Every structure is written in C-alpha cells, then in structure tokens.
Amino acid sequence: LHKLQENEVMTDVTLILPDQSAIQCHKVVLMAASPFFETMFQSGLKEAVEQDIKLDFADSGTIRSLMKFFYTGDIKLTAENIKAIVAGSEFLCCKHLKAYCEEFLMGNVGLSNCIDYYQLGKIFNLKVLIKTAFNFILSKFREYREISNFDKLTEDELAEVVSCDRLNAENEDVVFEAVVHWVNADPDVREEVFPRIAPLIRFPFCTQTMLTDKICCSSLVLKSECIQLAHEAVWSQFHLNRRPPIDNARCIPRQSFHLRGSTPSLFLIVQSKSRNNVSLNRLTTLPWKPADKWSTLAFIDGKIFAFGGLPESKSVKSFNLKKSNPEWKSEQEMLNAECNPLVVQFANKVYAFGAFGAFGGRWSTKVTQEFDPALNEWRMRRQMPGHCFGGSAVALCDKIYVFGGSQRVCYSYDPENDEWKVLSKPTHE
C-alpha cells in the first residue's frame, strides 16, 4: 500500500475535497477499505468510470485522515476529531474503524462529555458506548450540576435516567432538584413536559423538609397539577411514622409503594385558592381513625382505601383527601371477609388477595376478588395456587405478581385470562 501511494502514476482516481484540494488514490485500495467505495465503483453509475470523485460528507481534514488510515492503518484520535471520524466511518461503512473509535470514546467518558457521548452512541448505534455513558451518568447523578450539557438531555433520555433503580442519589431530593434544573433550562417548552416526568420521581423518598418546604410550595408542581404526588408522599411518610431509607433510596419502585396498618393521626397539606393562584399555606393534623385494625390501606385515584380488618371483614371504606373535611365513607363491600388482604390496582380495576392470615394463618384464604369501579361491583376470580402469609402484590406490565411471605411464594396472575402460574420461589422469607 505504501508503494502504491508513493507511485502516483499508478493511481486511477482523484478525490476532490470540499476545500477543492485533491488526493490521488487507487480504486483497489478504496474498495478494499470501504464498502461505500466498493459499491460506488462496481455500481455501473457514472462514478464508476469517472476519474474525479467529489466528496463532501465531511471536512477536508477528516477525509484526509480517513484516506491516510486506508493506506497506512494509522489514525490519531482526539477529543476534537473523534465525532467527525465516527461520522466518517459510519458514512464509509468502515466497521473496524467505527469499533476502534468506540473503544476510544469508552475510555474517555467523564463529566465533561458523558451526555455528548451517550447521545453520540445513540446516533451511530454504539451499543457498548451507550451503556458505558449511561452507567456513568447514573453513578455521577448526585453531581448533576457538574455534568456538562445535563440540560441537553431529551425528555425520553431524562425519563430513562430518572426511572432507573441504579440511580446514585443520596435521596430523592437530588432527583427532584435535577428535574427542576432541566425544566428551567427551557421553561417555555419543558413546563409542559414536567407532568410526564414527575411520576418518575419517587416523592415518598424525599426528605420531609424538601417535601413540605419546597416541593409542596413549588410553582412548577402546582401549575402542573402534580401536587397529588406530593400529598401522597407527605401522607405516606407520616402514616408510616418513619423516614424513608437514605442509603438505598432507589431500592423500591414508586409504583409498588404499598401501605399497611394504621397510626393515631394523619397529616395533610391544606390548599387555599384565590382566583388563578393556588398556594399551600400550612401543614395540619386531622384525626386518623381507620375503619378496622389490620385493614389494608391503599392510595387509589386520590383516595385512601381501607380493605378488610380484624376480625376478618368484608368492609371497604374510603377517605377522600380532596375534600376540605374528609371523613371515612363506606364503599361496596367485598364478597369474602379478609384480614389484611393484599391489594393492588391494575388497569381500571382493583384486586384483593386474601393472603395474609392473622395469628399464624388461622384465617388465611386463597381468594381472589376483583372490583370494577365503573360498575361498583365485586366478583370472585380464580383462587391463588397457595397461601402467602405476609407477602406483597404488585402490578407489572400485563400481570400481577404475589410474592414473598413465610411460604416464600411467587405467583403470577393474568387478569385478562383469569389464570395463575407458580413461579420460582424467592431465596429468603
């Protein structure tokens, strides 16, 4: 190849660059190095027979570097030229050079370029680079202000980062602040996006100070009508009478946050409205008297529901947080009496599984009950394959999963077909 390049008499094609300079080349070399040129010279089109070929897919310096690589196998990659070289290798269909560029990029991911490299990887389908840059963003998320071009993330990219369980955040305060920072970079457009991102923030794992002093008073939260998420978080924190975990705040997906039992009092944020403005002016305490001890509490469509009780009960009662003076209201009773059933919302229905059992399971059942709010009716469905004392239930994709407990069970339930399946047991109780 060196001899071919040095002997210009043997060249059979001239490449005309954007700056009108020329490079004398050999078709056989270009065809061997690039499927792009192979197709061009074997296509039967005019480029196959013409002596001069104009190239404008990159700047002249990049094209010269690529032609030098074709002849010598050497190329110098730098932070300044890497994007152009990647684009050039993609255009010329040079897979080996593209892979070499990906290795260079992976080895240089940092705070100053992780967003750029993450997006570059998506443009040119550099799968390993995408994974490397994404993991770096997750690991450095608590330093989001130091990440260059953080506010250049697209809505989908931000959603992918914020929703990831591996996000490295001391607590959810950082996540909320990062999302607000992103929105404020282009408020005219992104304030409309916030309601789609907000549900991905796990508000119950924010600190109480952040929730009451900032989030509940945030104009962005109020204008987007996402205040219900903050209300739910405040209520759940006080109801559980504990702070959310700090060291592993991302361990529980927000969608599976499930509440049980009862406490002496309920703390609520009270809204005050004046014309077009909505403000939160105080944190107040209301009497908290659940219908029955050992009822299962769930937050559904802006209301707190209590299902069953001890002794086992068919009772279903609701507590409407949207009312100024909420009180417990009786709802349509379940068909089968239960003590602390597992409750989960799936699509437009609510499911109650009689799986806990008081006093060692003496009153345990395997009953599956389905409630249709539109019809205000309960109906019996197929029983669970077995008992689940002290387990949990969660809706995921198109199935409901019942798992854990002292029996270490894992069942999947298909509501559409009313079918249960027994899955692999958890390793621990």
pLDDT band at 6 (very low <50, low <70, confident <90, very high): low
Summary count for the chain: helices (H), strands (E): 15, 18
Please give the average per-residue pLDDT across 273-290, as a whole number: 41
Lowest mean pLDDT among 122-136, 282-296, 409-423: 282-296
For the stretch 80-112, pLDDT in tens is 999 999 999 999 999 999 999 999 999 999 999
CA torsion 405-409-414-417 (nearest 10°) is -120
pLDDT digits (tens, 9 = 90+) for 320-342: 877 777 788 899 999 998 888 99
Lowest mean pLDDT across 45-59, 119-133, 236-250, 330-344: 236-250
Q: Rounded distance, CA 399 to CA 376, Å? A: 23
What lies within 8 Å, CB to CB, of 43 at 6+ separation is none
State residue 322's pLDDT score.
Answer: 76
More confident call, 322 vs 76: 76
> Which of 89-98, 140-149, 347-356 is predicted least confidently?
347-356
428 has pLDDT over 50? yes
Domains and CATH numbers, the chain: 2-111 (3.30.710.10), 292-429 (2.120.10.80)
Please tell me whether residue 406 adopts helix, strand or coil conformation.
coil
